[in-house]
Amino acid sequence: MGRKEKIVTEIEVFESISGCSVSIQKLMKKAQEARAKAYAPYSNFYVGAAILLENGTIVTGSNQENASYPAGLCAERTALFYAGAKYPNQKIKSIALTAGPKGEENLKPVPPCGSCRQAIAEYEQKQKPPISIYFMGTSGEVKMVKSLLDLLPLAFNKDFLDGT
Ligand code: THU
């Protein structure tokens, strides 16, 4: 039998948005506003993301779909790439996400998809300090991880390319 390695990740659960700090409540409100601007006529699944930078700027995004389905982009990466393009030297402190079918209540927190986790991993690895991620449905519980690595342990990053 091989040697076993165990990976433990930690998720903090808040009963509702009002259990979060004032700055995260504000961030999540921005994500909710961004969600209303989603362009998702094919899935009808509306996602909003808000990113808090170290200088206090908040960058938002929503999912943008396309008739050629794979050409669309998730809310997280829409916001993340804009933040990277406009504020290349600003570290990301937190990301807030809210998601659910348009016009319906969704009590189940929606975590970022695998591709978005990989995209967030790139920025976390680049900046060093971890990025906290808060995610919820449209109401109810908010889940939080202190680092992307809690959602994507053993993340692939540039160190593997360099062999460092
Ligand atoms: N979506 C996001 O915006 N973020 C995620 O993390 C999960 C999925 C979007 C993509 C697509 O427009 C719709 O939700 C349904 O998958």
Q: Tens digit of pLDDT for each residue in 75-126?
A: 999 999 999 999 999 999 999 999 999 999 999 999 999 999 999 999 999 9
DSSP 40: -
Beta carbons within 10 angstroms of residue 21's beta carbon: 11
Using CA positions, which residue lies closest to atom 4 of ligand 1? 74
Give the per-residue pLDDT at 164.
67
DSSP assigned state of 64: B
Q: Is 76 annotated as catalytic?
A: yes
CATH of domain 12-156: 3.40.140.10
User: Which sequence spans correspond to the domains of the chain?
Assistant: 12-156
Task: Please tell me whether the overall predicted TM-score, pTM, comes out greater than 0.85 for this model.
Answer: yes
Can you tell me the distance from the alpha carbon of 29 to that of 100, in angstroms, rounded to the nearest whole number? 15
- Of the listed 12, 33, 76, 141, which one is catalytic? 76
Atom from ligand 1 closest to the CA of residue 43 = 15
| Residue 107 backbone phi and psi in degrees, to 5 | -90, -5
